[in-house]
Every structure is written in structure tokens, then in C-alpha cells.
């Protein structure tokens, strides 16, 4: 198939393109950034530019929409709406203009909010931030597109936190703090986290290219879920450090997060610690993946294996530590 991947120069996109090319598909990347690995496949552009997206989509059979504003501290905050919702509107315009009948969209479990137990795909969305809200609004845009033609196919994947080699998100920041002996455990660590390894979601997204007409909707995470303290200790184990011994109460850690929020507001600098990151780290953020498991999908890697692979790649091999 001929495939366009918006946001294909990014972390997940690059791994997805690895899989698509291995499977023999013809791929183009539409991204505002060049691709370090696949520069010859890139059409430079922004999903907010409808005409550029329509042009890039000509002749394509499927669009993967991975482009998003997703960081915790995006400024201005209006970018969430412009990129996540406006970008979705432009993707469906591009699909309509070019007769494309299949869209595969990476949404987010952020639409469910925090401390919801194990929400499955039927749970009412209760997003707690602009990222989650705009991802949910983007889903609505794609669902309206799907309803207009019975021959259309829409896949929505709601991933949990995704980590892996070459990622610079919250899991990388956690690993880096542990590596530098700057990590302080906030809270008991008994809270459970649903997470996913990039090699596994890339395989799932590849498989979805064969989805049938209608809606396919899955939560994605690698099971079983791990406790916060288990995640920390797996990382420490791979780094040949002992298990965590010292913890501080959650409320003290949260006060520290607010202090960094204030410092960021005053100085204009962005810090690795913030109140929202403290809240997310100490919260139960779990989801049900029963529907995905029942589909027969088999992830290539276990969750622990994915964590250890990332530690080795980012902190041991690159720093020549045995």
C-alpha cells in the first residue's frame, strides 16, 4: 500500500516506518521536521496547513495520523487545539479530497483522566488536561468522517505512556534522574502504571493497516501493569544500582512541584520537575486492554524487556558502561 504518516519523523513514527518498509509498503512522511533516519521520505509540512496536507496525500491509500502536541508544558496552550484538533480536521479534508478511505489515528488514554481504575474503551472520557481534551475532540472529528461512508475504515489506538530507544519523554527523564543519582521517590510507589514499549505499538500499528471497514478501537499498553516502585527498581537493576530505599511523602513532593511551576513562570525556563509530572507519577494510570488481548495481537517484547532495552541503549551502551 501507499502510506502517508503525519508526524512520521518522531519517536513512534520512525519505528512504525521501520515496520511498514519491512512489510513492503511505499511510505511518505509528512512532518514539520526532517527525519534523521529517513530524510529521503520526508515531505516537509505542518498538519495545520490544509493545502500542503492535501497535496502530500495525493495517490495514498491510507493516512496514519501521528502528528500531535503532547508535552506537558506546551506553550502557547492554544497549540493543543490548533495541532491536535485542527490537524485532525485537515487530515479528513485531505482524505476526502483524495478519495482515501482508511485513517489510522493515535489518540491517548489521557482522554480517560487520572485514577479511573482500569477504563476500557466504553468508559466516558474525563480528560484532566488540554492534551487529553484535544485528543478526544480529534476522535470526534474522525468519527464524523467515518459516518459519511460505509466503505471507510477508521482505526483509533489509545496508547498509554510509550517509551523506548530515542525517546525523550517522561520515562527517559525518570531514567536519567536515576542514572545521575538525582531521583527521589515521591509517594509509596504502590500505584500501578500502564505503559507500552515502542516496538510493540509499532507492530500493532502495522497490523492495523489490514483493518476492515468501520471502526476499530483499542486501548494499548503492555500487560501486566507494574507498580511505580517496580518500574524504578527494574531501571535501577539494569543500571546495577540497588533497590530504592528513601521515599518522601506525596504532599511534600507535590509542594516541590508547585515550587518548580512558580520558578518556571518567573524565569521562563522549563524544568524536569513540575506539579503535573508529580501528580502523574504518583497516580494510578491503568487501562484495560482486554479487547486488544482478545483480538489475538501478540506483542514482540515484554514490558520489563522494553525497559531494560531502553536503559541499555540510552545509558549503558552510549556511555560505555558495562
Alpha-helical runs (H) found in the chain? 11-22, 50-56, 78-79, 86-98, 130-147, 170-179, 198-207, 228-238, 250-267, 275-282, 290-294, 303-311
- Chain segment 68-114, per-residue pLDDT in tens: 998 777 888 999 999 999 999 999 999 999 999 999 999 999 999 87
**How far are the Cα atoms of 1, 18, 32 from residue 22, in angstroms, in the given order?**
12, 6, 24
Burial class (CB in 10 A: 0-12, 13-18, 19+), 286: buried
Res 61 pLDDT > 60: yes
pLDDT digit string, tens, across residues 177-204:
999 999 989 989 999 999 999 999 999 9
Domain boundaries, the chain: 2-167+193-223
131 catalytic per annotation? yes
**CATH 3.40.50.720 correct for 2-167+193-223:** yes
In the predicted model, what is the mean pLDDT of the chain? 94
**51 within 8 A of 98, measured Cβ to Cβ:** no
Which residue among 38, 131, 136, 179 is the active-site one?
131
What is the mean predicted confidence (pLDDT) over 54-65? 98
Query: Does the pLDDT at position 321 exceed 60?
Result: no
Rounded to 5°, the CA angle 266-268-270 comes to 115
Res. 319 pLDDT band, cuts 50 70 90: low
Residue 204 makes CB contacts below 8 A (sequence gap 6+) with 157, 218, 220, 292, 297, 299
DSSP letter at 209 equals G
Question: For 289-317, what is each residue's pLDDT tens digit?
Answer: 999 999 999 999 999 999 999 999 999 98
Nearest CA among 126, 134, 141, 160 for reference residue 68: 134
Strands 102-106 and 153-159: parallel
Q: pTM of the predicted model, to two decimals?
A: 0.90
The residue written with cell numbers 490548533 in the block is 82
Amino acid at each position: 500500500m501507499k502510506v502517508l504518516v503525519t508526524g512520521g519523523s518522531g519517536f513512534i513514527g520512525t519505528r512504525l516506518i521501520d515496520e511498514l518498509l519491512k512489510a513492503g509498503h511505499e511510505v511518505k512522511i509528512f512532518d514539520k521536521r526532517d527525519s534523521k533516519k529517513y530524510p529521503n521520505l520526508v515531505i516537509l509540512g505542518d498538519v495545520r496547513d490544509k493545502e500542503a496536507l492535501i497535496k502530500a496525500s495525493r495517490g495514498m491509500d491510507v493516512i496514519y495520523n501521528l502528528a500531535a502536541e503532547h508535552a506537558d508544558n506546551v506553550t502557547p496552550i492554544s497549540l493543543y487545539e490548533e495541532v491536535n484538533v485542527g490537524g485532525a480536521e485537515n487530515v479528513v479534508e485531505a482524505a476526502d479530497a483524495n478519495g482515501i478511505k482508511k485513517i489510522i489515528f493515535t489518540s491517548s488514554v489521557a482522554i480517560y483522566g487520572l485514577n479511573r481504575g482500569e477504563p476500557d474503551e466504553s468508559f466516558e472520557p474525563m480528560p484532566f488536561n488540554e492534551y487529553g481534551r484535544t485528543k478526544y475532540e480529534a476522535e470526534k472529528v474522525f468519527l464524523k468522517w467515518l459516518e459519511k461512508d460505509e466503505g471507510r475504515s477508521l482505526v483509533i489506538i489509545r496508547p498509554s505512556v510509550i517509551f523506548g530507544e530515542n525517546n525523550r519523554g517522561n520515562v527517559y527523564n525518570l531514567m536519567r534522574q536515576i542514572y545521575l543519582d538525582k531521583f527521589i521517590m515521591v509517594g509509596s510507589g504502590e500505584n500501578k502504571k500502564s505503559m507500552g514499549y515502542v516496538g510493540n505499538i509499532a507492530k500493532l500499528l502495522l497490523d492495523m493497516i489490514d483493518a476492515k471497514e468501520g471502526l476499530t478501537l483499542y486501548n494499548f499498553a503492555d500487560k501486566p501493569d507494574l507498580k511505580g516502585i517496580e518500574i524504578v527498581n527494574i531501571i535501577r537493576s539494569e543500571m546495577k544500582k540497588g533497590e530504592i530505599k528513601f521515599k518522601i511523602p506525596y504532599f511534600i513532593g507535590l509542594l516541590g512541584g508547585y515550587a518548580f511551576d512558580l520558578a518556571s513562570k518567573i524565569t521562563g525556563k522549563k524544568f524536569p520537575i513540575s506539579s503535573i509530572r508529580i501528580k502523574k507519577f504518583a497516580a494510578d494510570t491503568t487501562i484495560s486492554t482486554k479487547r486488544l488481548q482478545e483480538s489475538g495481537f501478540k506483542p514482540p517484547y515484554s514490558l520489563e524487556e522494553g525497559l531494560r532495552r531502553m536503559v541499555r541503549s540510552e545509558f549503558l551502551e552510549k556511555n560505555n558502561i558495562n
